[in-house]
Chain A
Amino acid sequence: MKIISKLWIFISVLIILSPLGLLLPERFKASSAWGEWGADEMRQLVGYIPKGLEKFSRFWSAPIPDYTLKGWEEKPLVSLSLAYIFSAAIGIFICVGVVFILGKFLRKK
């Protein structure tokens, strides 16, 4: 098999395994990455929400926030894992699409 095909299979395997990135932190009770807290976590940590941070943190509302479907935050881990796989798949689909479009413009004539 050509190496490119093998690498695509490898990427697919990573998509399927991606919920590990959700389940392991849950299992070991690890919270957000440092410096990536939401407003509530920030209030707990420093006692207030910095004014500029509050304003700019609402600057953009992502369609699939934190790789979870909107309104799914309280769903069981199985659903969250499926949403995570879905997010990985759709994100990679778009990445690949964008690179192929860029490739049309960027490749040597």
Chain B
Amino acid sequence: MLPEALFFSAVLFVIGVVGVLTRRNAIIVFMCVELMLNAVNLTFVAFAQVYGVAGQIFVFFVMTVAAAEAAVGLAIIIALYRHRQTVNLSNINLLKG
């Protein structure tokens, strides 16, 4: 059971990473980040089956952080859209040195 679960979460994680790296829409990038988090959650749950309940507790923490991050991140994206009328990341380069 464990190897299948790990393989599944690895696939999910890589999908997330590729999405973050390739997509330009901030919302999609954001969703991909969530995907990566959930892939990690899956790994935690899977390991919890073998090594005890600590992994399951950790999942709750990750979910809380993800929820907070979703709220803040979406708020930032909305504020960004108000300012620039776009959520395309390649147009947003305020940090350019």
Query: Is chain B found bound to chain A in the same assembly?
Result: no
